[in-house]
């Protein structure tokens, strides 16, 4: 039987730079996806416990050559959380599934633009829409129409923080100077950073990132090592611009709160929605039938060299399928890199949901 954990990353006043494929240094994402988190975590694990230990760890994950293995742990991508008052009441945001919730109205023209902008939903709203009674055609419709017309509203959606996602963090660009090593010529460029709300005497709003971990019995044996590696990762920083002090965090490894336990143990869902990236080399057309999904290219640089990893296309968070697959690690080692093998995680983590027929 698997065990679920919730991990909160508190960046305090430290900025962070989270790059994405196709996004230049001038821009930054507000979160880290599951494949990047896995790579950073495993890299630190290797430095802490050695080459043999990390090779033994990677052998426990399914690959194209060993597709039948049950992985020791699954991780979600990171998502934003907000602590909104002195009692530390927390809003956890989840990606909105790419299917309409049950009871969603046929005529949504008056509020569809507002609905479509809700890329992330507070956990309580996410549960009500996709695991509970569904979309309320009276109160939800009225509130979304009001918010579309006025930019504000009063109701359950507003109270739960549905429209306040952007209050969790701010981004800014910092000018930097690059110096050519040969000619010493200088070049001005800008780098984007994200700052999560850290609270002050007048504003109790604090924010950070969180992710979920599902540990198998084999994974529970590794929990202490994984926590130690995560602690070191927090000291070194997550994302880019770490030499400038960006991305440093403190981690809390927590048991699932009751609301989360209800979400992960939901039994009546006919669909599965991803909360991680997902890749598999053996996906049939039957698996994609009645599904709603988006695909993103994933790439990046190898840390210890100036060589790019091979690109791979993955299903994104919020994609909805009629069943779930474990996913696999995909080998993205470029031909010119021979030091060791490079893997990107396509191991999936999904939650059960109901959707509109």
How far apart, in whole angstroms, are the C-alpha atoms of residue 180 and residue 45? 34
Residue 216 structure tokens: 């198998």
Specify the pLDDT at position 23: 60
How far apart, in whole angstroms, are the C-alpha atoms of residue 315 and residue 319? 7
Residue 76 · residue 34 · CB < 8 Å:
yes
Closest to 139 (Cα-Cα) out of 155, 124, 159, 152: 155
| Per-residue DSSP letter, 101 | P
Specify the pLDDT at position 178: 77
Alpha carbon separation from 70 to 63, 139, 167, 212 (Å, rounded):
10, 44, 39, 18
- Residues 15, 21, 25, 28: what is their CA dihedral angle, to the nearest 10 degrees? -30
| Per-residue DSSP letter, 304 | T
Would you kindly state where each structural domain of the chain is located, as residue ranges? 3-83+167-353
Spell out a b/e string for 209-248, using b for 16 or more CB atoms within 10 Å of the CB, else e. Answer: bbbbbbbbeebeebbeebeebbeebbeebbbbbeeeebbb
How far apart, in whole angstroms, are the C-alpha atoms of residue 92 and residue 10? 14
> Class of 3-83+167-353 per CATH?
alpha beta
Helix (H) or strand (E) holding 213: strand 206-215
Specify the pLDDT at position 185: 82
How far apart, in whole angstroms, are the C-alpha atoms of residue 22 and residue 337? 23
H-assigned helices in the chain: 34-49, 51-58, 112-117, 123-130, 139-150, 156-159, 217-220, 223-236, 258-264, 285-288
Specify the pLDDT at position 242: 86
* Residue segments in the chain with a per-residue pLDDT below the cut of 50: none
């Amino acid at each position: 039987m698997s065990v679920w954990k919730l991990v909160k990353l508190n960046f305090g006043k430290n900025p962070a730079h989270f790059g994405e494929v196709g996004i230049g240094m001038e821009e930054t994402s507000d979160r880290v996806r599951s494949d990047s988190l896995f790579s950073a975590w495993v890299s630190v694990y290797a430095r802490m416990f050695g080459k043999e230990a990390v090779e033994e760890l990677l052998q426990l994950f399914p690959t194209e050559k060993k597709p039948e293995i049950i992985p020791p742990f699954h991780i979600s991508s990171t998502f934003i959380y907000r602590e909104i008052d002195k009692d530390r009441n927390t809003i956890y945001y989840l990606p909105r599934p790419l299917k309409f919730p049950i009871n969603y109205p046929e005529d949504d023209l008056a509020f569809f633009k507002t609905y479509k902008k809700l890329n992330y939903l507070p956990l309580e709203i996410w549960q009500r829409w996709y695991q509970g009674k569904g979309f309320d055609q009276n109160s939800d419709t009225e509130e979304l129409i009001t918010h579309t017309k006025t930019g504000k509203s009063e109701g359950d959606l507003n109270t739960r923080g549905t429209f306040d996602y952007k209050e969790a963090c701010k981004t800014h660009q910092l000018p930097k100077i690059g110096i050519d090593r040969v000619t010493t010529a200088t070049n001005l460029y800008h780098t984007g950073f994200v700052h999560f709300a850290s609270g002050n005497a007048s504003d109790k709003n604090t924010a950070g990132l969180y992710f979920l971990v599902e540990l198998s019995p084999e994974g529970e044996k590794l929990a202490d090592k994984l926590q130690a590696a995560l602690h070191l990762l927090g000291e070194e920083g997550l994302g880019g611009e770490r030499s400038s002090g960006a991305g440093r965090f403190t981690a809390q490894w927590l048991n699932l709160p009751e609301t989360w336990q209800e979400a992960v143990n939901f039994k009546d869902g006919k669909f599965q929605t991803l909360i991680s990236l997902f890749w598999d080399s053996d996906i049939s057309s039957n698996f994609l039938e009645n599904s709603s999904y988006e695909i993103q290219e994933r790439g990046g640089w190898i840390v210890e060299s100036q060589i790019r990893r091979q690109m791979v296309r993955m299903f994104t968070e919020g994609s909805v399928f009629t069943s779930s697959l474990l996913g696999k690690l995909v080998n993205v080692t470029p031909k010119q890199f021979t030091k060791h093998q490079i893997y990107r995680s396509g191991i999936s983590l999904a939650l059960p949901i109901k959707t509109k027929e």
